[in-house]
């Protein structure tokens, strides 16, 4: 691995956590979980999350531990919420984007069809990602995401 890399992720129901941990293992790099301080559990938490994401509201997040400035590449991993990034990832990006050098965007989601998550991330960071990939939740649960990731990341190892 030539680039010092940090994997940053938020996960409400552990789908994104699972793949983010796998990518950090494959790249042998640091990882930081973004913690949303709002209770997002249960049906009410789900509905509020939809509303917050639709309104592009920022979430209050726990203080981060790793300085993005110390890394050449930031792998930003978000679950898709209301066609865009999760609120906690939006906050992380807004608060830290001036410290980003290179970025890669990853998303976990239910549906196949095109959504605006990466467009929103590009607009927010003002950066073209080194790579971007979306994984379906079914690819995470059946394990087929591993092959897809290893193939993509071969050249970055
Ligand atoms: C509030 C909310 C909104 C969502 N909106 C979308 C969506 O627009 N498109 C989609 O494909 N999946 C959507 N999903 C599904 C999640 O992206 C998917 O379940 C993801 O894998 C969850 O990741 P996590 O377990 O790391 O939180 C949504 C989930 C939540 C909670």
Distance (Å) from CA 70 to ligand 1 centroid: 30
pLDDT for 15: 95
The closest-lying atom of ligand 1 relative to the alpha carbon of residue 53 is: 1
pLDDT at residue 155 is higher than 80: no
For the ranges 34-48, 101-115, 142-156, the one whose mean pLDDT is highest: 34-48
Q: Which residues pair with 9 in a beta bridge?
A: 33, 77
Question: Mean pLDDT over residues 134-153, rounded?
Answer: 89
**The two structure tokens encoding residue 151:** 């193939």
The closest-lying atom of ligand 1 relative to the alpha carbon of residue 13 is: 25
CA-closest residue to ligand 1 atom 4 = 81
Quick one: pLDDT band at residue 154, thresholds 50, 70, 90? Answer: confident
Distance (Å) from CA 93 to ligand 1 centroid: 19
Whole-angstrom distance, CA of residue 53 vs CA of residue 30: 27
Burial of 65 (0-12, 13-18, 19+ CB in 10 A): exposed
Distance (Å) from CA 142 to ligand 1 centroid: 17
The least confident of 93-97, 99-103, 140-144, 146-150 is 146-150
Question: Could you give the domains of the chain?
Answer: 5-156 (3.40.50.360)
CB-based contact 11:17 (threshold 8 Å): yes
Can you state the angle between helices 87-96 and 42-54, rounded to 10 degrees? 40
pLDDT for 114: 61
Helix, strand and coil in the chain, % to nearest 5: 45, 20, 35
Among 8, 15, 53, 55, which Cα is nearest to 35's?
8
pLDDT at residue 23 is higher than 80: yes
């Amino acid at each position: 691995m030539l680039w010092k890399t940090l994997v940053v992720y938020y996960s409400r129901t552990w789908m994104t956590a699972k793949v983010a941990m796998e990518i950090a293992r494959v790249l042998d790099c640091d990882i930081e979980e973004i913690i949303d301080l709002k209770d997002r559990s249960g049906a009410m938490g789900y509905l509020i999350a939809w509303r917050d994401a639709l309104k592009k509201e920022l979430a209050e997040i726990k203080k981060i531990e790793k300085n993005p400035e110390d890394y050449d590449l930031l792998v930003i991993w978000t679950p898709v919420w209301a066609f865009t990034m999760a609120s906690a990832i939006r906050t992380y990006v807004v608060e830290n984007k001036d410290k980003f050098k290179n970025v890669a965007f990853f998303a976990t989601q239910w549906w196949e069809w095109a959504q605006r998550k990466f467009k929103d991330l590009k607009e927010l960071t003002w950066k073209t990602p080194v790579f971007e990939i979306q994984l379906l939740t079914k690819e995470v649960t059946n394990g087929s995401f591993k092959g897809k990731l290893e193939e993509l990341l071969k050249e970055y190892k």
